[in-house]
Structure 1
Amino acid sequence: MLYLKNLTYHPPATPTAILKSINLELAPQQLGLVIGPSGSGKSTLLEILAGLAEKTAGNLLWRDQELTPEHLQQLAGLVFQFPERHFCGGTILEELRLGHPELGSGRVKEALTEVALDHIPLQTSPQSMSGGQQRRLALAVQLIRQPHLLLLDEPTAGLDWSMRRQLVNLLAKLKNHWTLLIVTHDAGELLSIADRCWTLDRGELQSVEPATLKAKAEQPQSVA
């Protein structure tokens, strides 16, 4: 279980806190969805959970263990928005083994099978793959590290409706084995697979039922 208790992030250079007394609980094998506009603090929240930034105050725990940034770097795997821009390997195999040259073929195949890319030759260039395949590869890069928590920043951004649907189906499958926390400005199809939802606005987090957001999204828009 992931616990955030009164988590605050207030860098000295900013007049107000970017994250204000955040409280959040997410159980194993659940998918949590944090929805908010640009500038609301979503990406900052993921950076703290990934151990890339350090909270100013509050508590961050996995089960009953207080987590340091070093713990979080081992516990969590972060998939950035547009992760394909960060690929460095010339082939799928090179990308998966970056920083992990000791990984055997079994671990590589297992990670690719999880994201339904095991049919693509390992010598394929990541840059030659479709947008949807690139997002799957970015997930495999994190899964091969075997984290407990998967963090995703706007995973459906820039994908067409077909690729979005395929990715949503994949994420629904992954939560059978992992805990997932996704941040997005547009929940869209992700609402159908979310177990927990929150809205984040100007650093303040509010819990909301997924069914409530889904019903609201399905309401016909009035025409002026």
Structure 2
Amino acid sequence: MDIGEQLKRLRLAHKYSQADLALALHVSRQAVSRWENNNVYPSVTTLMDLADLYGLSLSELLKENDYQLVDHLDHAVKWERLSKWGLRIVLVLVVIGGMGASVFAYGRAHQIDVLNRVNPFLSTQISYARVPAKVPTKKEIVRSQNGKHTSQRQVPQPVDVWVPEDRFGGGEWIKVAIGMIPTKTDRYLVLEHKGSYVHRARLIKAESVPKTILPLLGEHYHAYNPAFDGPRVH
């Protein structure tokens, strides 16, 4: 029995007309007729739908036909199923990647240190900045090294420094703790950072700043002003 006869026998056994079967498979009645007359073979997907419709496996659907064809179709079905799962996995990875990229982009724009620290799209940089002549302080309770005593002290607070990246205004304002300014000559800062996350920073003198960078730092320090300076990341 050839494939066309097998498909016709199964259709009649399940009391389907060609039109009814075509409707169930979302194909035309002429397509069903061409299958049964061996003019064309159904697609792998259609054969799978037929097997499901009749409650058979694909091998059972075609068991009386060419075994090489059955084996070929079995492999094709397995490959199609694997391809579907592969596509789903790829889509999931794309969605996760897109969400991750969005999270990192949000962290970059809003200077969320914990995200910038692990952001794979950011590289660690060595940059320079100008610092204020006086660092603001705040009275805080400080515990001694042995942890037995506490006292109130004026503790230096973090300051905003402008860190330029190029000659066209690119850069960002980074909040960094620099401690007290020790001398009048130490008005510059070298910092190792990844976005807004600062690994370490150290006060330096003007002669330690590269000559190509020094003009970008300006002649005087000014604190960050949202109305004047705009967003923190340029």
Work out which of the two has the higher radius of gyration on C-alpha atoms and give 1 or 2: 2
- More strand, by proportion: 1
TM-score using structure 1 length: 0.24
Query: TM-score normalised to the size of structure 2?
Result: 0.23
Q: Which has the higher contact order (CA 8 A, sep 6+)?
A: 1
